[in-house]
Amino acid sequence: MSAQERKTADISVTLSGLRLDNPIIPASGTFGFGEEFAQLYDINVLGSFSFKGTTREKRFGNPTPRIAECEGGMLNSVGLANPGIDEVIGEELPALRKIFKKPVVANISGFSIDEYVYNCEKIDKEDQVGIIEVNISCPNVHDGGMAFGTSPESAAAVTKAVKAVTTKPVYMKLSPNVTDIAAIAKACEEAGADGVSLINTLMGMRIDIKTGRHILANKTGGMSGPCIFPLAVRMVYQVYEAVKIPIIGMGGVSSARDVIELMYAGATAVQVGAANLVDPYVCPKIIEELPKLCAELGIEKLTDIIGKAHNN
């Protein structure tokens, strides 16, 4: 074994001053508030995690059925089912403190700029929240979510409004269901965003050929899974060219190799979404595999490869 192979790679990363032991962050909507996964393994091995998308009022979400399989992934139209901001702060976060000792990513959604502002101002006061991830890209709700992330002007308006009432880093979660995601990322940066997260799910549909009916009650849903990974790589690459703020990359990530690839494209950290629903141990497996893969590729420090594909 060579000296290079014996040396353990530094896989820590930093997001807006927040140091993570590794770049792996389970994505919002695939990890709940951590409790179920904490019964399977010590979730403190994670860099952080993004908790369930939170709105001002409690939401049941969309009608069922709201999950449909597709080759290479899945469609969901869960529709931001969550207990509401007050219960998250009053019950979920105190329970979370008992099982997770690191700063968490708070995923915040809204149906108006006022609601985004209200939720962000409240969650900003919580000590365990390290980053506020503002979801302007959910394709599964009406009159909100993605509506704010489809133009630079509306994305900037939300960014500016929530930055005015927060002290913690704000990362805007962007939609791939647009013509120019880089322009929207740039608008968020100019409005004060500390970082961006991308990509959220792509709009999709399935139809039962026996009945001719939509499989999802909502008709359309967000497509995720390995089938969208090349799109995520392309969009992270494009956004890295457009902005100077950090990028949290996501979209079909299921292996350590995917993490390395997204970081080459420009991601500083990487979220793992649908893969958690296939294999609940996928994140600790990736974290264990990363140093080995770094040794194989001759990477001594993971942060050295961020955006490196732009130099080739």
Residues annotated as part of the active site: 138
Query: Could you report how far apart the first and last alpha carbons of the chain are, in Å?
Result: 30
Backbone dihedral angles phi then psi of residue 249, each to the nearest 5 degrees: -95, 145
Helix (H, G, I), strand (E, B) or coil at 83: coil
Sign of CA dihedral 115, 184, 271, 140: positive
Helix 152-163 and helix 113-123, axial crossing angle in degrees, nearest 10: 40
Q: Going by C-beta distance under 8 Å and a sequence separation of 6 or more, which residues neighbour residue 237? A: 265, 266, 309, 310
Q: How far apart are the C-alpha atoms of 121 and 107, rounded to whole Å?
A: 13
Determine contact, residues 256/284, Cβ cutoff 8 Å: no
Q: How far apart are the C-alpha atoms of 143 and 10, rounded to whole Å?
A: 44
Q: How far apart are the C-alpha atoms of 239 and 245, rounded to whole Å?
A: 10
- Tokens 């993004």 belong to residue: 50
Token duo for residue 203? 């709009």
Q: How far apart are the C-alpha atoms of 100 and 286, rounded to whole Å?
A: 19
> Per residue, what are the HEC states of 5-63?
HHCCCECCEEECCEEECCCEEECCCCCCCCHHHHCCCCHHHCCCCECCCECCCCECCCC
Token duo for residue 248? 């949290």
Q: How far apart are the C-alpha atoms of 259 and 249, rounded to whole Å?
A: 9
